[in-house]
Amino acid sequence: MPKIVDHDKQRLLVAEAAWRVIRRDGMEQASVRNIALEAGISAGSMRHYFSTQSELLLYAMNLVSERVSNRITQMSFNSSPLENMKLLLLELLPSTDEKMAEMEVWYAFTAKSKSDPVLKEHANKVYNELRHAMATVITYLMELNLSRTDLDKELEIERLYALVDGLGIHAILRPDQMNTKIMEDILTMHLATLCRDAE
Amino acid sequence: MPKIVDHDKQRLLVAEAAWRVIRRDGMEQASVRNIALEAGISAGSMRHYFSTQSELLLYAMNLVSERVSNRITQMSFNSSPLENMKLLLLELLPSTDEKMAEMEVWYAFTAKSKSDPVLKEHANKVYNELRHAMATVITYLMELNLSRTDLDKELEIERLYALVDGLGIHAILRPDQMNTKIMEDILTMHLATLCRDAE
């Protein structure tokens, strides 16, 4: 079914063009017309791939979370528990150019989601998945008896989640001050303070 | 000089109208025309107050940071050192409706600043001021000999800054899960873990 393959491929190309427009010119410029221009196809033929701008933007937003989630599914954890948890959290942070691009686009989409119910619904789904990942990290440390015995589980989950999101945002907003080395050092330190050796 | 006073007052009213448009409809809708409509003045008379949309948006963005900074300047610190530091950090977080509005507008402006050099310059100034506030907290705890002796000062400053920004962003993006009580509890816990009693 080459036609369907081409269709899916073309939708992907359009979504990637949307990412480039958003990163370079801002969400304000992410009109169907500008995205068509960036993708090198006519504005008229855009309707074969997306019926509305809203559908296009949701697809482009979903592409970010799908890529992050695919990468995490493919991870193999062969190190110590603390190192494995650090690697998992680092995967959510913009530690490569590719992930930096994703994070920048994601940030623009979350800002827009405040006044766009369709994007908001997808954002909420992803927030829940991310919180679940944080809960997995904290629960794992507790179940292995690595963590301090006085941890407040729910608060630690929320603290870790806020820290990880804060680091990611600083990496895109303050790239001269926040880099992969510092993000990794902070995660290592943070996980260590949750554990018994830090008591 | 009543004319000058009126002029300043009018600029403020326009900026507050810009905030409302940004919060309700998103940054994409923050055109001079839409803001004039929201402020209840003619699009033509807008040029008496702001020459360009860029000037208007910079003024509206600056109004956020100015208000936060005025509130902090007016704070009085009458409690224990840890409590005082917690209150200072809480002042940067959206713990009231007014501060929630400021944080939402600020978030939209930082997203836009990625592709707008004028807003970016102001954002960078504010990031440096915020980092300075975090450094003040960590340095204060160290100088009073309250903190653990093994703290890595620079990493702790960045960790605290990322945590505070993460909490603020979660309060606006996940208001059902992140509220003032949880933010306050996390700050209390975080500061405690930096201190000797937590050793």
Task: For chain B, list the domains and their CATH numbers.
Answer: 1-51 (1.10.10), 60-198 (1.10.357.10)
First to last CA, chain A: 61
| Smallest Cα distance from A162 to chain B, Å | 4
Distance CA B115, CA B139 (A): 34
**Helix locations, A1-49, DSSP H:** 2-25, 32-39
CA dist A179 and B31 (Å) reads 35
**pLDDT exceeds 50 at position A199:** no
CB within 8 Å of A132: residues ≥ 6 apart: none
Q: Does the distance separating the beta carbons of B189 and A112 come in below 8 Å?
A: no
Helix (H, G, I), strand (E, B) or coil at B195: strand
Are A126 and A161 spatial neighbours (Cβ–Cβ below 8 Å)? no
Mean pLDDT for all residues in chain A:
93
Cα angle value A133/A139/A140 (rounded, 5°): 90
Residue B131: pLDDT above 50? Answer: yes
Query: Of A177 and A196, which is predicted with more confidence?
Result: A177
Distance CA A18, CA A22 (A): 6
Reported as a single tens digit per residue, the pLDDT across A133-156 is 999 999 999 999 999 999 999 999
Q: A136: which 2 tokens? A: 């997995």
Q: Tell me how far apart the alpha carbons of residues B27 and B19 are, in angstroms, rounded to a whole number.
A: 9
Q: What is the mean pLDDT of residues B119-128?
A: 96
Longest dimension (CA), chain A: 64
Q: Which among A119, A165, A199 is the top mutation candidate for probing chain B, defined by the most B β-carbons within 10 Å of its own β-carbon?
A: A165
Q: What is the rounded CA–CA span in Å between residue B84 and residue B3?
A: 42
Nearest chain B residue to A187 by CA distance is: B159
Phi and psi for A92 in degrees, rounded to 5?
A: -85, -5
Average pLDDT over residues A65-93: 94
3-state secondary structure (DSSP) of residue B147:
strand
Task: Identify the pLDDT of residue A196.
Answer: 75
Residues in chain B: 199
List % helix, strand, coil for chain B (3-state, nearest 5).
Answer: 80, 0, 20
**Which DSSP category does B76 fall into?**
-
Structure tokens at A8: 């899916």
Residue B180 in 3-state DSSP?
helix
B27/chain A closest Cα distance in angstroms: 7
Distance from CA of A6 to the nearest CA of B (A): 32
For the segment B51-60, the average pLDDT, to the nearest whole number, is 95
Per-position b or e across B115-140, b if 16+ CB within 10 A of its CB: bbeebeebbeebbeebbebbbebbeb
Chain A closest CA to B76's CA: distance in Å?
27
Structural element, H or E, at residue A59: helix A53-73
User: For residue B199, what is the nearest residue in chain A, using CA coordinates?
Assistant: A199
Render pLDDT for B15-28 as a digit per residue (tens, 0 to 9). Answer: 999 999 999 999 99
Query: What is the Cα B53 distance to its own chain's centre?
Result: 22
Predicted pLDDT of residue B196: 75
- Nearest alpha carbon to residue B93 among B110, B76, B107, B83: B107
* Alpha-carbon radius of gyration of chain B: 19
Average pLDDT for residues A87-116, to the nearest whole number?
Answer: 94
Residue A140 CA to residue B55 CA, distance in Å, equals 51
Picking from A109, A134, A193, the residue whose alpha carbon sits closest to that of residue B198 is A193
Nearest chain B Cα to A193, which residue? B193
Token code pair at residue B76: 């009085």
Count of CB atoms situated within 10 Å of the CB of A84:
16
Reading the block at residue A63, the tokens are: 């592409």
Q: In chain A, pLDDT over 70 holds for what percent of residues? A: 96
Residue B1 has pLDDT above 80, yes or no: no
Per-residue CA distances from A27 to A49, A109, B114 (Å): 20, 8, 10
pLDDT of residue B109: 95
Contact A59, A39 (CB under 8 A): no
DSSP string, A124-190: HHHHHHHHHHHHHHHHHHHHTT-B-TT--HHHHHHHHHHHHHHHHHHHHH-TTT--HHHHHHHHHHH
Give the least confident one: A161-165, B1-5, B117-121, B143-147: B1-5
Chain B nearest-CA residue for A157: B186
